[in-house]
Structure formats: C-alpha cells, structure tokens
Amino acid sequence: MKALLIFSFLIVSVLGLNSCTTVIDAKLDTGPTELSVDGTITDQPGSQTIRLTQTAAYFDNSQPSAATSATVTVSDNMGKTYSFSDPDNDGYYVWQPTAKDTLGRIGRTYQLNITYQGETYKASSKMNKVPPIDSIIFVKRKLNPLSKNEGYRAEFYAIDIPNEVDNYRVKFFRNGEFQNKPRNIITTQDGGFGGSNNGVTDGLVFIAPIRRSINPDSLYVPNDVVRVELGSLPAEALTFWQQLRTQITNGGLFATPPTNVPTNILNTNPNGRKATGFFIASAIRTRTAAVTDANIRVRPD
Amino acid sequence: MGNSKGQTANSLERSPAKTVHAGYTVSGYIKDAANGEGLIGVSVYVKETGTGAVTNSYGFFAVTVPPGTYNLVISYVGYARQTKTVDLTERNVRLDLELSQEGKQLQEVVVSTSREDDNVKNIEMSVNKIDVKTLKRIPALLGEVDVIRSIQLLPGVSTVGEGATGFNVRGGSIDQNLVLLDEAPIYNSSHLFGFFSVFNPDAVKDVKLIKGGIPSNYGGRISSILDVRLKEGNAKKAELNGGIGLIFSRLSYERPLFKGKGSFIVAARRSYADVLAQPFLNKDLKGAKFYFYDLTAKGNYRINDKNTVFLSGYLGRDVFGSDFGFNWGNATISARWNHVFSDRLFLNTTAYYSNYDYSLNTDLKQKSPDDFFRTDSRIVNYSVKPDFSLFLGKNTITFGGQAIIHDFQPGTATAASSGAVRSFGVANKHALESALYIGNEQQFTPKLQLQYGLRYSLFNYRGPGEAYTFQTDVPFGTRREVVTTVAYRGSDVIKTYGNWEPRFSAKYDLSPNSSLKLSYNRLAQYIHLISNTTASTPLDVWTTSTNNIKPQIADQIAGGYFKNFGRSNGTGSEFEASVEVYYKWLQNQIDYIDGASLILNKYLEGDLLSGKGRAYGAEFFVKRNTGVVNGWVSYTLAKTERQVDGINNSNWYPTRFDKRHVLTTVLLFDPPNAKRWNFSATFTYASGTPGTFPTGRFEYDGHVTPIYEARNNYRIPAYHRLDLAATLQGRKRAGKRKDDNWVFSVYNVYARKNAFSVYFQPNTDNPRVTEAIRYSVFATLIPSVTYNFKF
C-alpha cells in the first residue's frame, strides 16, 4: 500500500515541487548492551549456524562484537538435542552433521537454549510445510515506463498450500550473489500480502507482486542465473520480518511510528537482561533458472 | 447563531410603568449592497438602550426593546455605517437593509473579526475568523489561496508537517475537527495529500474556526469546528471571476435569478499539469492521469419575507494513474430553509448528504485480466438538522437537534492471481447519531454575559452487520484475536452510547474596551479516522464507534483576557489583543499496536488501543486592523501528550504534532503612494516536532536494525519560513468592467530545508553504516505567479 502512496507522491515532483533528504548529524544516547540472536535453522543438508552478537550504539558502524563463550543447543520435540559450538570464537555457533544427517524436519518444534554471561535464554519455533517452486520465467521489459533501458523481469510461480494459513519468506540470488537490500526482504502470507486478509489467497498461485518481487534494482540480462529460495515461517517470524523491513525503510510523509521489532528470545529470569533477535525454523525449497530462450516468455503485461 | 450585544447601565433606567409590556422587536436581513450577499456578524446597535445584536450566519438579526422610538446604528467593518430611526411604540418592525462597502476597501483590509470591537464585546472566545479578502492576500504556496493552510497561521492551530493533510487544534488529532462546508461535513479537506485544500476561494464567503467555548448547537467532533460558508452569488448583476495559476485554473460565474429574488454561483477549478505534460509523454505513459478538480455551486431563492431556500453542492476529486489507478474525493449537497416564524423566532433547517470515497485499481487498462487488485471504500452520511433561535431581549435561546445516518463501507476488494478471482473486505457499518440541544445567551448583569447550554448526543451502532468480541487477556500493546462473531439484522441495535455535553461561557466587561472570558465545554465524537502514519493518507478509513471502540470525549476549560487599544477610526479599534489559556482532557483516544493492519482488516478493532490525552497552553494574539501596515502576530506556548497502555511502556509521551513554541506573523503592507501595488509577508517559527530516535542497534541477516527505548524521545530541528507576495492591480480602463490583478509570491524565501522528519536508515551502498536522514518536503524557495480577473 505504501508503495502506491509513494508512487502518487512522485506526482508532486512532476508538478515541480521537490522534496529532499539530507544526511545530518544526530547525537543519540545509547541503551544497555544486550545479547542479539540471529538464528535460522533449516531442513537443508549440511551445517546449521546461529550467530550471537552484542547490541551496540546506533552509530557504531563497526562489525558487531561477537558474544562468545555461550552454550548453545537446539532440541526438538522428539527428544533430540543438537549442540552448537563456536570453535573460531567469532560468535558463529555451528552444528556439524555427522554423515548424512540433517537437523530440520518439517512438523517438528525446535527449542533454542542459550546460556550466556550467567543468563539463560530460550526461544522456540515450529518448522512448517513449504510448497515447491514450479517455475521461473523471464519477460522482456523496460526498467520503468520512462526508461529506455530494457532487460528481463523474473517471475516465479508457486502454489500456496490450501486449507491452512502459511507464511513464507522469499530470498533470491543473482549469479550466486544473495540480493539482500532492505527492499529485498520479501514475506508473504498464503502467497498474498496477508496480515489481515485471512485466507483470501489460500491455495492460489502466489499473487503477481510477490511473483515479481525477485528482481534486483536493475533488470536481469541474458544468461544471468537466478536462484529463488522459498522458506516457510511460523506466524510470529512473519511479523518479525515484516516489522524489520518496515523499521529499516521507514521515512517520509507516510512513516509509521518507529518501534522495536519483536523478539522471541526470552530470558528465563523475567528480571534478567533482555535479548533481541529471532530464532526461526524454516523449511526451504529452491529453484534455479537462467535467462535463456527456454525460460523467456512474451506477454503484454 | 445570534448574539445579543452587551447591554449597558442605560437599560436600568427604563420607565417602570412600561415594563408590563415585554416590548417590540425589530428584525430583518442585512445584505451587501454590491451583490446581495447576506452579511454575517453585522452589529445592530440601539443607541438609546445600548443594547443590540449581530446578524447570524444568514444575515438575520432581531432586537427586542421596550416600546418607543429608537435610532439603530448598523455597522460592519469595511462598510459604511448606517443609522435608521424605527418606530417601535405600537408594533414590531421588519427592517431589511443593504450596506455599501467603503470606497478605499483595498487599504482597509479586514483582518479577521468583523464587528466593531467584536473580540472584546462578543461572548465567543477561542474563535478566529478569516475574511476572504485577507485570505486572498496571504502569500500562498504556488499562489493557490488556501483556507486550511491559512488557518494554520492562527494561534492554537498546528500541523504535523508541511504537506500533511488536515490540521491540529489545541492538541487534537486531525479527525477531531468538524470541517463544514455550508453545514455539510467534509471528510478529507485536501487535494494532493495536504498541499491544497478543497475550498475554492472564489466561492468562499466566510471562514470561522471555533477552538473552545463551543456552543451547544455544534457537536460530533471534539477539538474544533471549521465553519466555511459559501457565497450566495451576486444578486445584483452577473459576474465572472477567474484565475490562472501554476497549479489550478479557476473560473466562477454568478448572477441574479428571478428578478433579484434569487442568485447562484458556480465555481470550478482544475489542475492542468497533466494537460501541459501530455505532448511530452512517451507511448507507455500516454493517457497517464494526474489531476484534481473541484466544482462548487450554490443557489438561493427568496420565496417571501419569511422564507428563503438555499441549495449548495460540492464535488471534488483527485485522480492519479496510468496502468495503475487511484482516485479519491468528496461530494456534498446541502439544502437549507430559513424560516422567520415571527419577529422573534428564526428557524434554519438543513438537510445534507455527504460522501467520501476512494478506489484503487492495479490494472486500469485491463492489460492483465488474470492478475489484478481492486478496492474501494466509501463513507456516506445523511442528516437533517433544525436550528431555532428565539430572540427575547436579554436572552437569545437556541434549540434544535440533528439526526445523522452513517453508512460506512470501509472497504471491499477483488483480487485475482493467475485467473482465480477472490473478493474480500470489511462488512459495512451502520449507525444513527442523533442529538438534541438547547442553549441560552443571557445578559445577566450589565457587565456579565453568559452563554450556557446542554447537548445530549445519542449513538446507535446498528445492524445489519457483524459485531466481534476480542480476547481481553493479552499483554498490553499486542493483537487481540477475535473470540466471537455475532451477526445482526437490519433492525438490531448492537451498541448504544449516550453523552450529556454541557457548554458554558461567561464574559465580564472590565471596561468598554477590555473583557475577561471563561468557558467550559464537553464534546463527544462517535466516528474516528484510522491512521497510523505521520501524515494521513487518502486511504485511511473512518470507522464508527462500535461495541469495541468507545466514543472520544473531550473536556476543555479556557480563560482569556481581551483588550482593544489605539485610536479608533469609526469601525473599530486600531489594535486588538488577547491572551487565552486552555487545558483539555481527552478520553478514548485511538492508538495502534505495533505492526497494526489497518486496511481491509475485518478484525481491525483487535489492533486498536485506547488511551487518554491532555493538552494545555497559552495563546497570545495581537492584531492591527488599520494602517499602512496591518496584520497580526500570534504566539502559542503549548504541550500535548498521550498515555496509552502498551505504548512507550504505558508512560505519557508527546504526540507527533506537539510543538512547544509557535510564532506566526502576517503583515499586509499597502504603500500609500503606490496605487496599484500592495504587499504581504508571513513568517512562521515552530519548535521541532518529536521524533523517535534509536538508542541502539543489532544486526540480523545483514540488516542493521534500530533499538528504541521510548516513543517521541527527541525533537527534530525547529521549523521556520518566510513567504512574500505582491499584488499588482491591472489598469482600470474607462467604460470597461474588467478588473484584474497579478499576484507574485515566493514561498520559503530563504530556501530553508525545513525538516518534516528525521529518520534513521542503513546507507544503501554500505548497509553497516547507519545514517540520520532529514526529510524536507520543500527544500528550496518556490516562486509563483497567478493572474486573476473579474468581469
């Protein structure tokens, strides 16, 4: 919705008014340092990583300090426990599979346990189902109606799982490079915008704005290789990602009140130090396609 | 309605023998001799008794005096004063009069109040009026004369920022202002978000803003009443007015009807950037639409001395789109009937229809019938409102009522994905809002005047529809899931609210040119704008009160000292000044959970929070009415806060439009030896509005994410701006009726990059580097030129 308003606001510029943004100096207070958890575990083969860091002053532009010497385990509701360790002392806590073992299983609920600086933190997350990506196609397009530059707009097709509320995150990679700008944080409920329209797009092909969300700022060029990952999310993780995107792109006339993104990392001692971040269990399906004749379609829209 | 003017000690000297007779009444309409427009607020003063009255919104007055012969002085700022002798020894007298404008009207600009020393002598407080002549001289953004932007120059009125829709009065939010166009409410008073307002200055006659001491005949919003009255149309001769500006071109036509027994005006405006741009658009943008227009019309017919009817209409729309389309607009129709029952009883009955709607379509050209999204939303009101005024000498009693049918269609949508079409949305909401009121304006003692009244408002939230109940045991500030859904039929009442709304004002004359005033009012509001963005958007929906949303209530006390000074030129004092203080308590203020979903959400009520507000401040106002340099200076010191469980750790926090200091200056300069030129300047200074700034950060999947400790804990830089305008009158040619002028204006003269907001974001190229970004809506000076003509 906000995009539509921004579009309309562009009209103001057409009328000869000009708004402007300027980077300014601001003096900010700094709150207490907290533990921050960046942890998504998947059903994919291979190792799984949970990153622990410390929060910092807002203008501290260095790499975040690692939270080291923590004890990190993940256990599932079938009684299995997986131990994560930080051999490099860099805050990246890794579980290494033995043989062909994988950690995540669809349908199981995972609990994260962290002991850090005398405090114990817990979080839990359920690994939900995810549908496959059926196809990725490309259509020749101008970058925008005013532009002369042409390229290929990618579109992926997937069908939402019917008769239940499903939440997903979409990630995409151009020639192996993860596209991770704030506007590339794509989440969807039932393949639609979700949030309040409970069940409207249930069981449908993902709606066009989501299908076409896998494009970088410039369009793709012939022979680009595009990989799309579709990951399931529990409902609270959908909210987390939506609010994270809102908070890091929040400005202009129609900004919403700045607010903390939610966290599911809870200190077992309610009076103990708080933590931020999120622990997410996500099942992932991927598909890769190249901008080649076989994948290029000709369509009016 | 009518206000009886201050009586003096003379009234005590009446002969005791004659007091057995209640007296006789002189009443009638007072109009402008040039065009037959009814004049609002004309003073009718009885020399012998020192009593008097002012004309009401329709130009009607009535004065009751003991039998005798009297001299009436009829005066109105900018018009030649008239004295009439009336014989009231044996019967009531009807007196209809026309006043002529004084010759040198351009030099004698009316700044605001219209009656002589009105600010001191009228019991009204916290009221500001802007004369259209003044409005047209205030330097305007892109030369477009604008009612809403101009009232922001008055004390106690502010805005969230440049370009934001609406205005905030004494700490109230924008939906708490009742914006009336000939008594019909306007739900969105802006074109192009907040840049231009919907009122066509060529059709507006009078603008009055009531911020406190709101009389009992008004209700339904809790912060202010913006009462905009349209011209009736020239009843003497046909007139064509027009103008060409950078944004709009305007044209209006007015003329007498039925041999002067009636008249009408039709006024239209349209933006034309799209027309000019069309030849330059490439194939893909051909047919792109971006324009806004409005059409205002009014007609009146005087059936006889006792009956006059009026019909007013407004239609406005903003349209944007090429492949994607988005449009919104208001439409209102109001019909009014003025009936004079007797010399003492006046009735106005208004019936209106008001509509606000928007629609949005992602596939305007139907290029992709398999994938589209369409939605629309609509608010419709129907209302009848009889208002009686009974003139009884020392008492003027007003009474009446209102019934409003609210028919809200918050939104239905149709979406298609790969050919599968689904419809969804929010069920319509229906309500009946009704009110009865009575008020009296009484000369209690020669120095003390009182106005007191009571309004009872009743709100029925009705079927057909669905009502929901929500969880109650969730932590503060989180979504409450729906628990039960109950379907109601058309005849069912889902929830009823009733509120007694007492109103009281007092004025005590300290001297002939100074007075003290005090007021208290309670107001209730049953409809609410759901908006969680800094500036409201046209997509914001209104909702009625429901079983889950309680009516908003405000209590306000205000006190003021009013004084006029300087030499008098016969139509009022040179200077008028006032100091007012107020304190306001607000209940059931709507707020939102983090991540609230407001559009097309059936269960919206589960995402709403309810809190309380308080606002207090002092307003200082000095105005020079006459002279080569006239105008006003206004300074407001204010604070406005909210407390909502679940926001800011449930502590009080400043609202987004809280400004500690606001200074505005409006200067109008009429050089005595430059016959064709006049100049004007405005300067505004306002403290920075609050902003929520981060106190920490964490990284998640490569994204630096802010951490906040409190809401609105910092201030953005202060706002200040100077605007200038110059008007050049065209040369008068002998025998030609044509009258024209050029208006040159510069907005934001010293090109200050005023902050609308300061926000915090990662740098686009280096996401680990975070930045504070100042967002300015206008970053440069904006010159403009407008040509106006009149035939």
What is the residue extent of each domain of chain B?
3-99, 118-227, 228-790
Helix (H) or strand (E) holding A14: helix A2-14
Tell me how far apart the alpha carbons of residues B230 and B252 are, in angstroms, rounded to a whole number. 13
Alpha helices in B131-215 (DSSP H): 132-135, 147-151
**Of B279 and A106, which is predicted with more confidence?**
A106
CATH topology of domain A133-240+284-297: Immunoglobulin-like (2.60.40)
Q: Single out the residue of B580, B461, B586 nearest to residue B523, CA to CA.
A: B586
Q: Which CATH architecture has domain B3-99?
A: Sandwich (2.60)
pLDDT given for residue B737 in this prediction: 66
Residue B523: φ, ψ to 5°: -135, 150
**Of B571 and A137, which is predicted with more confidence?**
A137
Mean per-residue pLDDT, A6-20: 50
- Report domain B118-227's class: mainly beta
pLDDT given for residue B571 in this prediction: 58
Q: Count CB neighbours of B654 within 10 A.
A: 20
Among all chains, which residue has been given the structure tokens 């709101």?
A: B214
Q: Name the minimum distance, in Å, from the CA of A14 to any CA of chain B.
A: 8
B 209-268 → A contacts, CB under 8 A: 246-247
Q: Name the minimum distance, in Å, from the CA of A268 to any CA of chain B.
A: 18
Question: Are B699 and A64 inside 8 Å of each other by CB?
Answer: yes
Flag whether residue B272 sits within 8 Å of chain A, measured between CB atoms: no
For residue B338, the SS3 value is strand
Is B527 in contact with B588 (CB distance < 8 Å)?
Answer: no
Cβ neighbors of B473 (< 8 A, separation 6 or more) are none
pTM: predicted TM-score of the whole model, two decimal places: 0.87
- CATH 2.60.40 segments of chain A: 35-128+261-282, 133-240+284-297
Q: Single out the residue of B654, B638, B724 nearest to residue B155, CA to CA.
A: B638
B 10-29 → A contacts, CB under 8 A: none
Tokens of A173: 């990679």
For residue A51, give the amino acid letter: R
Nearest to A19 among B277, B695, B776 (CB): B776
Q: Which of B327, B701, B777 to mutate to test the interface with A (most CBs of A within 10 A)?
A: B701
Question: Are B757 and A255 inside 8 Å of each other by CB?
Answer: yes
Tokens of A100: 């062909």
Tell me how far apart the alpha carbons of residues B168 and B156 are, in angstroms, rounded to a whole number. 8
- Evaluate whether ipTM surpasses 0.85: yes
Q: Single out the residue of B368, B374, B365, B375 nearest to residue B418, CA to CA.
A: B368
Q: Which of A183, A253, A282 to mutate to test the interface with B (most CBs of B within 10 A)?
A: A253
Tell me how far apart the alpha carbons of residues A256 and B597 are, in angstroms, rounded to a whole number. 12
Tokens of B680: 């004007």
On chain B, the residues whose CB falls within 8 A of the CB of A259 are 594, 692, 708, 711
The CATH number given to A35-128+261-282 is 2.60.40
B 191-210 → A contacts, CB under 8 A: 192-193, 195
From residue B310, how far is each of A125, B252, B352 by CA, in Å? 66, 18, 12
Mean per-residue pLDDT, A272-300: 93
User: Mind giving me the DSSP string for B413-445?
Assistant: EEEEETTEEEEEEE--EEEEEEEEEEEEEEE-S
On chain A, the residues whose CB falls within 8 A of the CB of B282 are 145-146
Tokens of A184: 């590339």
Q: Name the minimum distance, in Å, from the CA of B172 to any CA of chain A.
A: 18
Q: Single out the residue of B782, B789, B790 nearest to residue B139, CA to CA.
A: B782
pLDDT given for residue A195 in this prediction: 59
pLDDT mean values, one per 10 residues, chain B (791 residues): 38 39 81 82 82 82 87 81 85 85 46 55 82 83 85 90 87 93 90 84 90 93 93 87 87 88 92 68 62 91 89 91 82 93 89 92 77 88 94 88 93 84 85 95 88 96 91 88 90 93 94 91 94 82 92 96 79 84 96 85 90 95 87 94 92 93 93 86 94 94 93 92 91 75 91 90 90 87 88 85
pLDDT given for residue B1 in this prediction: 37
Question: Are A31 and B707 inside 8 Å of each other by CB?
Answer: yes
Helix (H) or strand (E) holding B52: strand B52-54
pLDDT given for residue B284 in this prediction: 55
Number of residues in chain B = 791
Q: Name the minimum distance, in Å, from the CA of A76 to any CA of chain B.
A: 23
Q: DSSP label at A97?
A: -
CATH topology of domain B228-790: Maltoporin; Chain A (2.40.170)
Tell me how far apart the alpha carbons of residues B93 and B87 are, in angstroms, rounded to a whole number. 8
pLDDT given for residue A236 in this prediction: 93
Question: Are A31 and B709 inside 8 Å of each other by CB?
Answer: yes
Flag whether residue B475 sits within 8 Å of chain A, measured between CB atoms: no
Query: CA quadruple A93, A97, A102, A103: dihedral positive or negative?
Result: negative
